[in-house]
Amino acid sequence: MLPDTRVYYALKSNSHPTVATTLVREGLGLDVSSGLELESALNWGSRDIVFSGPGKRLDELKLAVDNADYVTVLIDSFSELTKLERIAGQTGVSVRAGVRLATDESGLWRKFGIPLASLSDFFEAASRCKHVDLCGLQFHISWNLKPESQVIFIARLGVELRQLEKKYRRSIRFIDVGGGFWPEQGEWLQKAATPQGIVQAALDEVEHEAFKHYKWSACSIAHFADHISGALSRQLPEDVKCTICLEPGRWLCNDAMHLLLTVNDVKSSDLIITDGGTNAVGWERFETDYFPVINLTRPDLREHECLVAGSLCTPHDIWGYSYFGQSIKEGDILLVPNQGAYTYSLRQEFIKPLPKCVELPTSIGPSNSTNLVENHGIKGQATNH
């Protein structure tokens, strides 16, 4: 068990105001990665914000400095440390800060943070800054079905911290473990996203299997908590006594939104066109990710092979290759569940307008929250994202 923890919601995972403000009311902080998100977080009343992300502009750092009582800056580089010190010095305030650590020094993720081996040099550089209070560390490992990746990096961090000067270790007041906690439902994939499907695509031999879905199992959030807390307890030096911060953005918002679509055209028994396009989620998700398409108008547990396409003028506008229901006809309402994570924030005005939003009140304990459903506005029905 960890003695002191703090949870931050990553705004990029779903930036809908009701999602964010609900979590703020429940006592969570917000994790932002741009000046735009920082402005939103402040306007929504958050008073505990961590500002992460690479390549922060000067005006974004100035906004953080102007709100130093509420914002902790997660510094991404030595250059950013210099810029933050200069801006804070001009304002005459002290800024609470942490430094992001790169978890992979060779791949695409090397764009984030500093190498772990540079941690001592970074603390020395920060010690010469009169207006930056370097008091924390952050690392982030995404897309985790299990906690092994976090546990392995925590072990590496423990080794580095034991080599750090004692005065620097004792100045650490928080360690932000970041996010990447996959929802317990696991990851469901179309064949195209499997190793076999990728090879077939390279050979131009793609074959869709409407009734065959592939699942990568995920651990429960309790399993993540047990293993990560155990690793921290074992690996952190005894004189590092700090708050542990966590960012389970995807896990928190995954089930907060569902897609509702209306069948606009039945071209054949195995091809239909819906009123909504995948611009509602911002990317061609369902060519690789599998989610059930459920006919709410004619519900049934039987699955039928059918290309469920959107109405955008592109062949990549696909919702799925099958549906559950008795049959399917024009005007039927289709549900694609659990689309709250990394869809709303990525939606775009591509060919069709952005869908509207309908909020369904529900109780989540001591206060009220909302489940969110997008509304395309046809005949007043909730019919798109």
- For position 351, which CATH number holds? 2.40.37.10
pLDDT at 361: 77
Mean pLDDT of 269-284: 96
Reply yes or no on whether the pLDDT at 373 is more than 50: no
How sure is the predictor about 362, in pLDDT bands with cuts at 50, 70 and 90? low
Do 239 and 294 lie in one domain? The reply is: no
pLDDT at 370: 34
pLDDT at 1: 64
pLDDT at 378: 27
Q: Which two tokens stand for residue 330?
A: 């024009």
228 part of a folded domain? yes
Number of domains in the chain: 2
pLDDT at 371: 38
What integer best gives the mean pLDDT of the chain? 91
Do 92 and 132 lie in one domain? The reply is: yes
Residue 308's beta-bridge partner residues? 272, 320
CATH code where residue 23 lies: 3.20.20.10
Question: Is the Cβ–Cβ distance between 161 and 169 less than 8 Å?
Answer: yes
What would the pLDDT profile of 40-75 be if each residue is shown by its tens digit? 999 999 999 999 999 999 999 999 999 999 999 999
Q: How far apart are CA 210 and CA 50, in angstroms?
A: 43
pLDDT at 356: 84
Do 259 and 146 lie in one domain? The reply is: no
Do 267 and 238 lie in one domain? The reply is: no
234 part of a folded domain? yes
Question: Is the Cβ–Cβ distance between 239 and 170 less than 8 Å?
Answer: yes
Q: Which residue type occupies 222?
A: A
Do 285 and 157 lie in one domain? The reply is: no
Do 283 and 170 lie in one domain? The reply is: no
Going by the DSSP 8-state scheme, the letter that residue 355 receives in this structure is: P
118 part of a folded domain? yes
Longest Cα–Cα distance of the chain, Å, equals 72
Do 365 and 240 lie in one domain? The reply is: no
Q: Which domain holds residue 68?
A: 5-184+219-247
Reply yes or no on whether the pLDDT at 243 is more than 80: yes
Quick one: residue 342, left, alpha or beta (phi over 0 = left, psi -120 to 50 = alpha)? left
pLDDT at 206: 67
210 part of a folded domain? no
Do 274 and 361 lie in one domain? The reply is: yes
Looking at the chain, the whole-number percentage of residues with pLDDT higher than 90 is: 84
Do 160 and 177 lie in one domain? The reply is: yes
What would the pLDDT profile of 105-151 be if each residue is shown by its tens digit? 888 989 999 999 999 999 999 999 999 999 999 999 999 999 999 99
375 part of a folded domain? yes
Q: How far apart are CA 385 and CA 348, in angstroms?
A: 12
192 part of a folded domain? no
Do 43 and 157 lie in one domain? The reply is: yes
Do 32 and 136 lie in one domain? The reply is: yes
The string of DSSP letters for 291-341 reads ---EESSS--S-EEEEEEE-SSSSTT-EEEEEEESS---TT-EEEE----S
Reply yes or no on whether the pLDDT at 367 is more than 70: no
208 part of a folded domain? no
Do 175 and 152 lie in one domain? The reply is: yes
Reply yes or no on whether the pLDDT at 382 is more than 60: no
pLDDT at 144: 95
Of residues 59, 95, 51, the one with CA closest to residue 76 = 51
Reply yes or no on whether the pLDDT at 380 is more than 70: no
What would the pLDDT profile of 323-359 be if each residue is shown by its tens digit? 999 999 999 999 999 999 999 999 999 999 988 889 9
CB atoms within 10 A of CB 340: 23
Q: Say what the pTM is.
A: 0.90
**Under 8 Å CB-to-CB from 303, ≥6 apart: which residues?**
210, 211, 322, 323, 324
58 part of a folded domain? yes
Q: How far apart are CA 280 and CA 354, in angstroms?
A: 6
